[in-house]
């Protein structure tokens, strides 16, 4: 499908009839105000992949260097946003969008999702007794980190479903692939 006529916003009426994206608009008569759970799960997994890579890398670097909890979490969150945005950025640039427009799309698509995911995940880690002081070799370190990702996924998926159903968040990206 040729997307050269798009202005940076998803054309939800026309896009709903596009074979691979009809699941974005279920349950509301094609008005573009609904999104399937499948679409929300896919968007959340996409976001979680970038976040997890960045956050794990940040936690490993900070812990390995003996940094304190705050600088380690700041690095992990920064890298989570960087990797989260970069996955979307790479995809829309590859689809032919110029870099400036691609950055705008990535920010619009992923900011809320990454923010919710990072808040939940880091809250789980911070609230798990001993997790902040655990070392890379400790099962507690990895179980708190991975458990936080699971809880963040469960909480972020409905947020993404709601946003996609309103043409926001990850829905913005679908105009470019």
Say what the pLDDT of residue 26 is: 39
Give the pTM.
0.76
- As a whole number of Å, the CA-based R_g of the chain is 18
Tokens of 100: 């400036």
Tokens of 79: 């890298």
- Angle, vertex CA 8, rays to CA 95 and CA 30, nearest 5: 100
Query: How far is it, in rounded angstroms, from Cα 29 to Cα 76?
Result: 42
Query: How far is it, in rounded angstroms, from Cα 93 to Cα 102?
Result: 6
Q: Which of 5, 16, 8 shows the shortest CA–CA distance to 173?
A: 8
Q: How many CB atoms lie within 10 A of CB 51?
A: 31
User: Per residue of the chain (177 residues), what is the pLDDT tens digit?
Assistant: 333 344 444 443 333 333 333 343 333 333 345 788 998 898 899 889 999 999 999 988 998 898 998 999 999 999 999 999 998 898 889 888 899 988 998 898 899 999 999 999 999 988 999 998 888 889 998 999 999 999 999 999 999 999 888 888 777 776 665
First to last CA, the chain: 8
Say what the pLDDT of residue 53 is: 96
Q: Which of 122, 125, 120, 123 shows the shortest CA–CA distance to 156?
A: 120
């Amino acid at each position: 499908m040729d997307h050269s006529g798009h202005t940076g916003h998803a054309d939800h009426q026309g896009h709903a009839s596009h074979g691979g994206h009809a699941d974005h608009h279920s349950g509301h008569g094609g008005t573009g105000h609904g999104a399937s759970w499948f679409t929300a799960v896919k968007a959340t997994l996409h976001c979680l992949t970038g976040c997890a890579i960045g956050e794990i890398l940040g936690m490993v670097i900070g812990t390995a260097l003996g940094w304190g909890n705050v600088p380690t979490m700041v690095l992990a969150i920064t890298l989570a946003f960087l990797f989260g945005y970069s996955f979307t950025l790479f995809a829309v640039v590859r689809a032919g969008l110029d870099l400036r427009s691609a950055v705008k799309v990535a920010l619009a698509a992923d900011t809320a999702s990454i923010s919710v995911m990072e808040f939940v995940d880091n809250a789980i880690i911070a609230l798990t007794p001993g997790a902040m002081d655990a070392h890379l070799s400790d099962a507690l370190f990895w179980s708190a980190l991975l458990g936080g990702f699971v809880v963040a996924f469960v909480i972020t998926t409905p947020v993404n479903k709601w946003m996609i159903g309103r043409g926001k968040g990850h829905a913005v990206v679908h105009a470019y692939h």
